[in-house]
Amino acid sequence: MVGAGYVGLTSAACLAHLGFRVTCVDNDVAKVDRLCAGEVTIAEPGLADLVVAGRTRSRLDFTTDITTLAGVDLVLLCLPTPMGPDGACNLDVFESTLAILGGVLRPGCVIVTKSTVPLGTAGRVPRLLGRADLPVVSNPEFLREGHAVEDFLHPDRVVIGADAAYRDAAEEVAALYAETGAPVLHTDPATAEVTKYASNAFLAIKASYVNVLAELCERVGADVTEVTHAMGLDDRIAPDFLTAGPGWGGSCLPKDTSALLRAAEEAGVDFALVRDAVKANARQQATVVRKVRCAVTGSADGSLVGARIGILGLAFKAGTGDLRDSPAIAIVEALARQGAILTAYDPAVGAAVGLGIHGVGVVSDPYLVAEDAAALVVLTEWPEFRTLDWTALARAVRHPVVVDMRNVLDAAELATAGFRRVGLGTSAEPMA
Ligand code: UGA
């Protein structure tokens, strides 16, 4: 395994759990030292136990020395492929690692790409390796952050893309997942690469669809939560990814929609649906900012200068402390730019994490965000926000109003505590 991020480390620990002997290489010395000591710093449920078990059974090694992979049968690439400033996938790490591996691996070693890479990358791998004797297989990962172990051990499907000449190598990769009992779909590399982008972009479209639907519901006096509940009972639609919120984010959906749009453009395909989903996502963040402004000042164009606002949730979704491309951060930045003074709390983000945004402090106690606040704003759907002592919060705030942009709080309970709740997608509080 090359790369010990949430995908690489989870895959390594799960494969060790399934009985394989895994060596995981990462160039971060401190991370490798901690992993060797059985210390896992990523908050993935079940991962730490699997790492410790893998080490105890001598099936899982960590090293910074890539040459230790010289004799392995398969190399799985789980390297970062972040989005560059121009919206394109940055393949620097991926490409430089392949160049090194080309000089290290034994003949016949199977190269498996799990990282999400631009369409057509599989075809370029032999040149990047400087070797034509290594079978190349595309095996995209579909792991969700916060559910990665569960997703690895119980995948909905395993997609394996290889040219016909590498059929044996594809079978070797399929054997990695045999124990999971998941359906394995054998296909060509291009189809496997497109499947990954197609899945993430579809999720983005689904989430943006619901956010625009929320706007419509507010204007016509309907309740988006009830609408999506009814929609989700249709097997063809399914209930997941039907929750209105402040917009989708994280390290995957924004990057993958952008990459798919770029690939479509290069191929001469006008993928307006994906483009609109991205636009709707940016608009959603602006909508949340307007809703907060309305709640604090009573008008859509009131001034936020000097207004104290308490933020509950910074991560891009509950179950992770990941702030990469989090809509919450974009919204906090926008509110701070308009002169608000913000105090934020997230159960997975320590107070020591300075956001580096002028006018924004992070605290480690949710009750501190309420002090003298003109409004509280929920931006991540952490279930524990429901069980906060809302009566105590009502005593601490200056104005008892909660802008619940994940629709996680109980309106009746809040009303009893003395709060007015502004939700998303219900007629009670029209979109600003
Ligand atoms: C996503 C995919 O779900 C994984 O299958 C994929 O493997 C992964 O990207 C990847 O490419 O590596 P992840 O980024 O962990 O996983 O997060 P999701 O659970 O998909 O959530 C993405 C965003 O959508 C979050 O900001 C979340 O709050 C938002 N979302 C989710 C909504 O706005 N509405 C919903 O109904 C659901």
The pLDDT, as a whole number, for residue 231 is 98
Grade residue 43 by pLDDT with cuts at 50, 70 and 90: confident
Element (H, E) at 309: strand 308-312
Contact 430, 216 (CB under 8 A): no
Range 97-105 average pLDDT = 97
Say which residues have a Cβ less than 8 Å from residue 392's Cβ, sequence separation at least 6: 367
What's the one-letter identity of residue 150?
Answer: E
pLDDT digits (tens, 9 = 90+) for 164-179: 999 999 999 999 999 9
Residue 154, classed as helix, strand or coil, is: coil
CA of 144 to the centre of ligand 1 (A): 7
> How many residues are recorded in the chain?
432
Contact call for residues 353 and 362 (beta carbons, < 8 A): yes
Ligand 1 lined by 8 (C-beta under 6 Å): no
What is the per-residue pLDDT across 245-280, written as a single tens digit (0 to 9) for each?
A: 999 999 999 999 999 999 999 999 999 999 999 999
108 alpha carbon to ligand 1 midpoint, in Å?
Answer: 36
Query: From ligand 1's centre to the CA of 253, what distance in Å?
Result: 7
Give residue 429's pLDDT.
Answer: 52
Annotated active-site positions, please?
252
Mean pLDDT (the chain) is 95
| Confidence bin at 93 (pLDDT 50/70/90) | very high
Q: How confident is the model at residue 432 (pLDDT cuts 50, 70, 90)?
A: very low
| Cβ neighbourhood burial of 409 (10 Å; 0-12, 13-18, 19+) | buried
User: What pTM was estimated for this model as a whole?
Assistant: 0.95
**Which of the listed residues 252, 331, 381, 406 should we mutate to test ligand 1's pocket, taking the one with most ligand atoms within 8 A of CB?**
252
Give buried/exposed letters for 25-45 (b at 16+ CB in 10 A, else e): bbeeeebbeebeebebebbbe
Mean pLDDT, residues 379-408 taken together: 97
User: At residue 430, does pLDDT exceed 50?
Assistant: no
| pLDDT digits 0-9 by tens, 211-242 | 999 999 999 999 999 999 999 999 999 999 99
Model pLDDT for residues 104-161, shown as the tens digit of each residue: 999 999 999 999 999 999 999 999 999 999 999 999 999 999 999 999 999 999 999 9
